[in-house]
Amino acid sequence: MTKKKPASSSATRWMKFYPRDWIGDSELRTCSLAARGLWIDMLCLMDSASPRGHLKLGRKRIDPPTLAGLTNTPAGKVEKLLDELRKKGVFSVTTHGTIYCRKMVAERKRSANGAKLAAIRWSKDTENEKENRLRNAGRMTPESRIQNKQEPYNSRLVAVRAKRHHQPANDPPDFSNEPVQISEALSRTRILKH
């Protein structure tokens, strides 16, 4: 029996795809069907590249003959389709000659900025948590002070109910001393014995 290898991060990652953007991109719409097909294959390759959005395999940029091999298309055809996509302004090229998708690069930057901001926000919350508790303690009702403690919900609920019934928090309310009132309908009901 062989063990399954864990899937790589690029195999489990998904890519955002907006059909309205694909259909509504005027530069891409003016390209041939073959060029659009090559572009979607390039997008899939760029999604798993490092850095994301650049047409690379590992650290090396993908040149037209390599792209032809990856897409199973003749090299001459790939060069013509790349030229068509370039003339229409579908992709951009870095100063080093690497093709990249502007939208993917922008999404990567936004995601990285969002992650940084979230980390800053949550680190501030943990630093100021004790200070906020002390500041807000004077404004709280007895019930909310109980809820503010780091106790499970059920124990807080029992404590609040016990306070209402003037009983200790660990004992449930005792109603055994209260008289039972039988309704008229219940007194007319026959009790069957088995």
Residue 27 lies in a domain: yes
Is there a single domain that holds both residue 92 and residue 146?
no
Condensed to tens digits (0 to 9), the pLDDT of residues 105-154 reads: 888 888 888 878 887 777 765 556 666 666 666 565 655 555 555 555 55
Looking at the 3D structure of the chain, how many domains does it have?
2
Range of the domain at 155: 138-169
The confidence score (pLDDT) of residue 24 equals: 86
Is there a single domain that holds both residue 99 and residue 142?
no
Is there a single domain that holds both residue 29 and residue 86?
yes
Task: Please check whether residue 9 is in contact with residue 34, taking contact to mean a CB–CB distance below 8 angstroms.
Answer: no
From residue 56, alpha-carbon distances to 45, 51, 52, 59 in Å are 8, 8, 9, 6
Residue 143 lies in a domain: yes
CATH number at residue 63: 1.10.10
Task: Please check whether residue 173 is in contact with residue 161, taking contact to mean a CB–CB distance below 8 angstroms.
Answer: yes
Residue 7 lies in a domain: no
Is there a single domain that holds both residue 48 and residue 93?
yes
Give Cβ neighbours of residue 87 (< 8 Å, ≥ 6 apart).
none
Per-residue pLDDT, averaged over 83-100, amounts to 92
pLDDT classification of 179: cutoffs 50, 70, 90 = low
Residue 65 lies in a domain: yes
Q: Looking at 105, 122, 152, which one is the last position of a domain?
A: 105
Is there a single domain that holds both residue 30 and residue 96?
yes
Is there a single domain that holds both residue 95 and residue 50?
yes
Q: Which helix (H) or strand (E) holds 143?
A: helix 142-148
> How far apart are the C-alpha atoms of 128 and 62, rounded to whole Å?
49
> How far apart are the C-alpha atoms of 160 and 182, rounded to whole Å?
31
From residue 165, alpha-carbon distances to 155, 156, 176, 181 in Å are 15, 14, 14, 21
Is there a single domain that holds both residue 21 and residue 98?
yes
Mean pLDDT across the chain, nearest whole number? 76
The confidence score (pLDDT) of residue 66 equals: 92
Q: Which helix (H) or strand (E) holds 18?
A: none
Condensed to tens digits (0 to 9), the pLDDT of residues 31-56 reads: 999 999 999 999 989 988 888 889 99
Is there a single domain that holds both residue 100 and residue 142?
no
Residue 111 lies in a domain: no
Q: Between 191 and 60, name the one with better pLDDT.
A: 60
Residue 60 lies in a domain: yes
Residue 32 lies in a domain: yes
Residue 25 lies in a domain: yes
Cα torsion 36, 41, 44, 48: sign: negative
Helix (H, G, I), strand (E, B) or coil at 92: strand
Is there a single domain that holds both residue 17 and residue 101?
yes
Is there a single domain that holds both residue 19 and residue 85?
yes
pLDDT classification of 65: cutoffs 50, 70, 90 = very high
Give Cβ neighbours of residue 14 (< 8 Å, ≥ 6 apart).
none
Full-model pTM: 0.55
